[in-house]
Homo-oligomer: A and B are copies of this chain.
């Protein structure tokens, strides 16, 4: 049941969205229209984490390991989320029965990882899962569709066109099904030596904003964006002394400049957006949530920042569940609390 206030807010705005999508989006939020969503569709990154915990190579990690971990996280943390993002392979079939009533469901369309592409193989193409589709996701009860696209607006034209076409097609399929389309954009380094460099930290705000602007075009039919934080807090003057990972860096911007980048991202994004964690620590993520929601984000869709420290305990089921029950819940509660001032999605201009 919802607060009457939420009803009035919704009634009082003029949002242009197909009513079926509107109804489904409401299944992903709290009563005010804010997203506190748990990402659990990790595959390759989870294989690496569980492989490390088990002392085996990622390739040797069994499907049962992935599903066992996803079950433990779902049972403990899904009750604190307004929605959960699952992959249809290792997640959905094994955890759906542990989802409490009222927790919304997103299913992802893409394969984990990316195909190397472009000159020198430094660019990235997204691959869709075989034998899966928007229609199948709907039949499985999905409230929304998620697609992750690696995107660098300075990549070669061929790679950009490939990524754009995948998004366009997914947008069309979602529109036909009446399902909200959540697009996740992740940038990557092409020229730079890596993402943890001063050069990349400097470029990141621009990469994130230009990507969001591209896919804000109506032809992609994106309903909600899952975006990276448009800067690297570890390279800000205020946090460059190792606040989040103990490493000292030469700052490239100030927190005030980062705030401005967040506002710019909100301005160029034509639709509601949530922030992703990309595996940063929970402490860094909570600052990102503060700044993103201050700028107009409608919440978060976060996985690893909340539950990643459970993975190293995977060999000891009891210790892992104890961690999830205590620190995992603590992380969820803090993330939810930090997103309390998020903008209800229907108040975002669409």
A residues near B (Cβ < 8 Å) are 1-4, 6-7, 10-11, 19-27, 29-33, 36, 75, 78-82, 92-93, 96-103, 105, 138-143, 176-178, 336
Contacts and interface: CB of A to CB of B under 8 A. Distances in A.
Contacts of A79: 1-4, 6-7
Contacts of A143: 23, 27
Contacts of A98: 7, 10-11
B2 A140 contact: no
A101 B140 contact: no
B140 A1 contact: no
Contacts of A7: 75, 78-79, 98-100
Contact of A19 (B6, B92, B101): B92
A6 B30 CA distance: 17
Contact of A178 (B3, B4, B75, B139): B139
**Nearest 8 Cβ contacts at the A-B interface:** A23-B141, A2-B100, A26-B101, A20-B141, A139-B178, A7-B100, A19-B96, A20-B140
B101 A141 contact: no
B101 A30 contact: yes
Contact of A140 (B6, B23, B80): B23
A289 to B, nearest CB: 17
Given A79-B1, A101-B2, A141 B96 contact: no
Given A78-B7, A141-B178, A178-B138, A102 B36 contact: no
B101 A11 contact: no
Given A102-B27, A141-B20, A1 B178 contact: no
9 contacts: A1-B36, A2-B102, A10-B99, A11-B97, A23-B99, A23-B142, A26-B100, A27-B27, A138-B177
A139 B99 contact: no
A29 B139 contact: no
A113 B210 CA distance: 56
Given A2-B79, A6-B101, A82-B1, A22 B139 contact: no
A100 B6 contact: yes
B102 A26 contact: yes
B4 A103 contact: no
A82 B101 CA distance: 11
Given A7-B98, A27-B102, A30-B101, 8 more contacts: A7-B100, A11-B75, A20-B140, A20-B142, A23-B143, A31-B102, A138-B177, A140-B178
A203 to B, nearest CB: 37
Nearest to A20: B141
Contacts of A2: 78-79, 100-103
Nearest to A329: B4
Given A36-B1, A141-B178, A178-B138, A22 B97 contact: yes
A26 B100 CA distance: 8
A2 B80 CA distance: 7
